[in-house]
Every structure is written in structure tokens, then in C-alpha cells.
Structure 1
């Protein structure tokens, strides 16, 4: 799907405030409401707009501990990786999960109520998985930047 500057403007505005009414969005991007609504629907149908969410403040709801753990599997076999995927996918405290290049196989972003709760996740669950060889954890001390907005200005500057 080819995106034009109006599509990028719509995406910028919705990344800033996903609760904008169609009328307000149309006004901000210089369209009338009907064409704006059609463009948003097309962006949704094409999967460019993946979902709309409410972003919560983890500390205010009692989840102040953020840990990044690097996991190395015992063997690099597809069935072990699939098993690990299934087990990690079921864990609500794992917010993000990436297959990585480098020294470790996976990177997990884990949130918890306390260091003790994280320690239980690691020792009682993660380290007990037969496919796991090692885990290395780093705790976030202070969040310096957090955004969910993609840098559309870089994408928009690409040449045809």
C-alpha cells in the first residue's frame, strides 16, 4: 500500500492521540470528515494501524519493577525454540519477547510488583524450563525515554 503525506499526517495525529474524533482528525489533517474516515478505515484494513490501546502507568497500578532478561537456550533446535515460545507466550508478566542475534537467544521485558516476585518468575518458572541454559537479568533503575510513536518522518522521506 502506498502512503501519501495525508496518510502520514493521519498516522502522526493518531499516534499522538488515538482518541481523536474523526471530525477533529479531519480538521487537523486538512480533510473533510468522510474522506478522512475512509483513509483511516483503509489504514486499519491494511494492518498499518494495528490496534488502539490505552497506555497505563505501571507504577501507578502497582507494577514498578521492569527487568530485561537475556535467555540462552540449551540447544538451538527448532522444537526447543517452539517450546520456549509457547511457555513464554502464556506469561502475562512478559511484556515483550524478542529472538536475538549475539550471545543470547532471547530478550524478555518483564514487569512485576517487586524484586521478590521477579525472582520467583526467574527461579520458579524460567530456570526450571528444561530448554533454558542461562538467564542474565538487568533491572531498570530509571526510565529516561519511553514512546510508542514510530518516527514517521524517516519513512515519509523515502523516495519512490
Structure 2
């Protein structure tokens, strides 16, 4: 990955729907040249997918929580989690718990009901999100990273 690829990623992470013509202007390349670079990064798996970020509040999902979960039956638990519409992230972690889940529900009551449905899989702690001072940060590139030799 060269500095131009990093600039492309910087712009796409902030606006994935940007046209290739507009992206080319941002990085001083022609539309065909920037399209080829994006295609190459997609083929190499550098760009895995494009996503839409949906407002939970505006779609009736008012409660966000994290659950620290301990289970001895990981396969059954993971089958349950993968089919649950409330679980939007699940990570295997080290320490006294096996998993960390991010859960979004309509209300505290529906979060409690979800917790009750988890009882048969193990024990857990629920941490309800009070507010979100940092909603979302792009984890990979910033303007400072573009010029960093470590990412070349």
C-alpha cells in the first residue's frame, strides 16, 4: 500500500458512497486509475465491505448494552447469539468471561427479556450504555496516518 492507497482509504472510510470521479479528484488521479486501485484493494481484502450506519434511536432501538458472558457450552451459546436480532457484535475475550456482546433492544424491559433468554447458556453481567460521547471513529486512517512511514 502506497500513500495514494492510504489517501483513498481515508476518503472512503469517511464517505463510502463517494463517486470514483470525486475520489479521483481528492487524490489527484483519473477516474479509471482510482477505480483500478479501489478494485485491487477490494480483491486483496483490504476493503472488505461497505456499510450503512443506521440510527438506532430513530428506528425504535432505545437501549444499548454490553454483556460480559461466561459459558461452558460455547457452541450452543454461539448458535443462539448468531440468530438473535438483538446481538450486533460478539467477541471472544480473555479473562473470567468468554464473550463480550453488544446488544441493542427497544427498551430496558426488552433487554431484561433478552437477558432471561440467555440464562440457560451461562452467567453474565449487563452494562447499560448511559450515553455515547464518541459515537463512531474510523479505526484505521487519519490524516496523520497518511504520511506515517509505518503504514507504507
Report the equivalent of 1:26: 24
TM-score by length of 2: 0.91
Q: What are the ranges of 5 or more consecutive residues in structure 1 without an aligned counterpart? A: none
Q: How far does the alpha carbon of each residue in 1:30-63 deviate from its partner, in whole angstroms, 9 at most, with x for none? A: 1111110000011111111111121111111111
Distance 1:158 1:40 in 2: 21
Distance 1:89 1:119 in 2: 19
Counterpart secondary structure, 1:66: strand
Q: What are the ranges of 5 or more consecutive residues in structure 2 without an aligned counterpart? A: none
TM-score by length of 1: 0.87
Q: How far does the alpha carbon of each residue in 1:97-127 deviate from its partner, in whole angstroms, 9 at most, with x for none? A: 011111211101000000000100110x111
2:134 matched to 1:137?
no
Q: Which consecutive aligned stretches of 4+ in structure 1 deviate over 2 angstroms post-superposition? A: 154-157
Distance 1:22 1:68 in 2: 38
CA distance 1:142–1:128, shift in 2 (3 Å): same
Aligned-pair RMSD on alpha carbons?
1.7
Distance 1:96 1:90 in 2: 12
Report the equivalent of 2:57: 59
**Contact 1:8-1:156 within 8 A present in 2 as well:** no
Q: How many residues align?
A: 149
